[in-house]
Amino acid sequence: MKRHRWGEKIAVTANKTERECLHGCGIVKVSRHEFEGGRNIYWTEFWRGLDRIEGEGTPECTEVAPHVAYSAGTYPL
């Protein structure tokens, strides 16, 4: 299994950062923290596009097939 290589943290808000895998698998690691009930709560989520990846632990780093862009009149039917 290939390990992710995370890019630099990007602070989206004061409580949320995002890091994208540099291998091109399309996974974004989202780290968040909130203060609730007198204590800090911290959690990590993984996303690919608009889809949240469910499961325990870090998902596998797999290559994503590149999207092919077709111009008008060249789409294979």
Average pLDDT over residues 60-66: 75
Judge whether 46 and 58 are in contact, CB under 8 Å.
yes
- Domain range for 50: 1-77
Q: Which of 59, 76, 50 is nearest to 25 (CA)?
A: 59
* CB hemisphere CA count around 57 (13 angstroms): 5
Q: Is the pLDDT of residue 67 over 60?
A: no
Average pLDDT over residues 7-24: 92
- Our count of domains for the chain comes to 1
pTM of the model: 0.74
* CB hemisphere CA count around 9 (13 angstroms): 9
Q: Is the pLDDT of residue 75 over 50?
A: no
Average pLDDT, the chain: 83
